[in-house]
Amino acid sequence: MTSGSAGLRPDLARIAGWVAPGSRVLDLGCGDGELLASLRDDRQVLGAGVEIDDAHVIQCVRRGVQVIQQNLEDGLALFDDKQFDTVVLSQTLQSMHRTEHILREMARVADFGIVSFPNFGYWPHGWSILRGRMPVSKQMPYQWYNTPNIHLCTLHDFEALAQDLGFRILERATFKHDREVRVLPQWRSTLAAYRFATV
């Protein structure tokens, strides 16, 4: 089954564009394997995914994507130092209990990292909090009591953490739903994606 990058969500298409052709990629929380299948078919990437959900693992197998079923909270001990060129963590960072740990593990197994996450700095979220309610949006569609999102952050929050960890941010892209945001992204974007060097 093929999956062209033109058919990917805009954020995944941008992430795919940041991956060097023919490189080795690890996709953490790879979901149904759509990104890895696109990278394999369009950029001849040698990729592997890590996913916990049974249904998503089955979808990966059907796409012909190499996948390991594992909880990311357990770390990446299965992988050697610098085994990959790029490691991707797409829309999963905010649900990790040990945020710094997974980022350090990403730095251990690859030279470059890519993360994306919902931007808690999106201005309607602040308005919602001023009205006394936790925000609910298309990007974060959960109520406060059933959300998997336990570590919400803004663009500036992530950039500060990356600096603390010694990462060098190479590229950033921000989105509001299906279009890219270039003006005042810290307030106007619902999703951010970063590419950084881990060495």
Evaluate if pTM is beyond 0.75: yes
Q: Average model confidence (pLDDT) for the chain?
A: 87
Confidence at residue 178, expressed as pLDDT on a 0 to 100 scale: 84
Q: 3-state SS of the chain: helix, strand, coil percent to 5?
A: 35, 25, 40
Higher pLDDT residue, 141 or 93? 93
Which of 14-18, 61-65, 119-123 is predicted least confidently? 119-123
- Inform me whether the pLDDT recorded for 90 exceeds 80: yes
Confidence at residue 141, expressed as pLDDT on a 0 to 100 scale: 66
Going from N- to C-terminal start, the domains of the chain cover: 5-120+151-197
* Residue 119 identity (one-letter amino acid): N
Give the number of other Cβ atoms within 10 Å of residue 54's Cβ: 9
Instruction: Please tell me the distance from the alpha carbon of residue 165 to that of residue 107, in angstroms, as a whole number.
Output: 9
Q: In what order do the strands lie in the sheet with 179-180?
A: 67-69, 46-51, 24-28, 84-90, 110-118, 191-197, 168-176, 179-180
- At 138-193, the pLDDT tens digits run 666 656 555 555 678 899 999 999 999 999 999 999 999 889 999 999 989 999 99
> Looking at domain 5-120+151-197, does it have CATH number 3.90.1150.10?
no
Give the pLDDT band (50/70/90) at residue 131: low
> 190 near 137, Cβ under 8 Å?
yes
Task: Return the residue matching tokens 């990966």.
Answer: 60
